[in-house]
Structure 1
Amino acid sequence: MDLLFEDTGYFDLTTYGLRIGDKKGVMSFSPKAEIVLCGADEVEKILKKLNIKHTFFKNNGDRVMAKETILECKGDAASLHKAWKISQNIFEYMSGIATYTNTLIKSAKAINPSISVSTTRKNFPGAKELMLKAVMCGGGAPHRLGLYDSVLIFEQHLNFFNAKEELEQGFKELKHNFIERKIAVEVESFEQASYFASLGADILQCEKMDFKTLKSCVGLKQKHPTLLLSATGGINEKNIAGFAACGVDFIVTSSPYHAKPLDIKVTIKETN
């Protein structure tokens, strides 16, 4: 997708109509509050495409204080106005996700320094690359990129087995066929968790469990020391600390994808 053309189309009616396109100007970007920056690479591609001279003072993943300058650009008014809004949108949305992700991680690690926070594949279709990059700028990691990079058994898979013996044979074949992969299973109760741990699951993804049940599932590590457990389902900045305190190895959440875009102030002025 051509992000620049999506916003500018064939020409800028306002700048053209005002006859200011050839005038020289300077444009700067700065946050209105503290942020974790993301989107610098995408914005730079736009600036280069428009032949705008630019200087970045901050990089992806940097913590930027309120009113600190992220970027300064110099060029003709026509080019600056084309770059303005799409660049601002990229910074605001991607930095919003990165900052929210970083907040989650700090809350979780304050309870368990060794825990990690990952995001699901419930990203907005067509925006996966940008959203995942923002998560990683905030210190998070992708849980699954898609169906092709990991093995995760859901109830929707289990519904195709009519008998326990058939399921157990299928599970055995899965582990054999993908011997280099960890086998993860989504579970919703302690009974399910115990059963799949006994079958040799490598990871139990504990879905929407209360803290008491989740702690019981974590207790399975005593019998299965290599077992990994994650908590998922409805986890956000308000409750992540409680899930981290249950002793899980990592947390899986979609909430960063719904983070509010942050305010990035853009100033454009004429220069001599």
Structure 2
Amino acid sequence: MLPTDQLLSFFAEDVPAGDITTLALVPDRVVSARVEAREEMVLAGVEECVWLFEHFGVSVTVAAEDGSRAAAGTKILGLAGPVHAILSVERTALNLLGRMSGIATATAAAQELASQVNDHVRVAGTRKTAPGLRYFDKKAIRIGGGDPHRDSLSDAFLIKDTHRALLPVADAVRRAKEYSAYHKVECEVESLIDAVAAAEAGADILMFDNMTPSAVHGAIAALAARGLRNRLVLEVSGGILPETIHLWAGVDVDRISMGALTHSVRCADVSLEIE
């Protein structure tokens, strides 16, 4: 279900007291317009755009769906309705469409690169999203074929270095499991010793953070030797970029988390043209 109240708050931020330029210059009348891609992209945010335009009385025809690949010049939406509504909604809709499509495109590209090396690995997002945009950022990752990871601190346990600075790894895992049997326990580790300790304590997921591929490979071999590898989901994180993702996919992990998918997103280029 779309968070429609949030969509309306985005619009209200941009149009707190009317679009004064459009009101001053353009008599309101019915016009036709189109939203189109200006570069190749994986589309995400189409559903949000449709809702916004329709909410303000614009008739929308969807020419390209979320998840589809669009070439430069591809028509995404056809619009017909009051010009004041179309021009007032334009920037809010295009900002969401551009950001979400940029995330989906980057995710799809990273997943393709990783899959060329490892056919079972999935690229994952992180909580490094812009405040207020997490739902949309995570949705875009899913549309791009990635794993959204945790939506919030309430979803699953993730024992980080800041927790491990306060108590030993094994104790942290045990306390988490005692706290709730209904949430996965993930533990961030930075060494072979911590990886084994967390696994033996019952962690469900190990996140190898800021380790080299060779160090991760050695840790996985140690887990396998102890019969622990097959009951764990293994994840790597820490400054992973498209240029280096093949190195991480090659060490037999299950997830590659990339904060860059959302904290450094480049918006896809989309435009609205009056016809």
Structure-1-length-normalised TM-score: 0.91
Task: Give the match's secondary structure for 1:184.
Answer: strand
**Long gaps (5+) in structure 1:** none
| Counterparts of residues 72-221 of structure 1 (less than 5 Å) | 72-161=78-167, 168=170, 171-219=173-221, 220-221=223-224
Does the 8 Å CA contact 1:29/1:72 hold for their aligned counterparts? yes
1-structure distance, mates of 2:76, 2:238: 35
**Long gaps (5+) in structure 2:** 1-5
Does the 8 Å CA contact 2:159/2:172 hold for their aligned counterparts? no
Whichever residue aligns with residue 151 of structure 2, its letter is L
1-structure distance, mates of 2:113, 2:155: 28
Please, what is the CA RMSD of the aligned residues? Answer: 1.7
Which residue does 1:227 correspond to in 2? 232
Structure-2-length-normalised TM-score: 0.90
1-structure distance, mates of 2:154, 2:127: 12
1:78 to 1:214, Cα distance in 2 relative to 1, 3 A: same
The alpha carbon displacement at 1:76 in A equals: 2.2
Does the 8 Å CA contact 2:125/2:147 hold for their aligned counterparts? yes
1:168-188 C-alpha deviation (Å, 9 max, x unpaired): 455434324433433221111
1:168 to 1:260, Cα distance in 2 relative to 1, 3 A: closer
Corresponding pairs, count: 264
1-structure distance, mates of 2:195, 2:42: 37
Whichever residue aligns with residue 4 of structure 1, its letter is F
The alpha carbon displacement at 1:222 in A equals: 4.0
Whichever residue aligns with residue 199 of structure 1, its letter is A
1-structure distance, mates of 2:225, 2:272: 55
Which residue does 1:14 correspond to in 2? 21
2-structure distance, mates of 1:260, 1:119: 15
Does the 8 Å CA contact 2:158/2:188 hold for their aligned counterparts? yes
1-structure distance, mates of 2:136, 2:36: 20
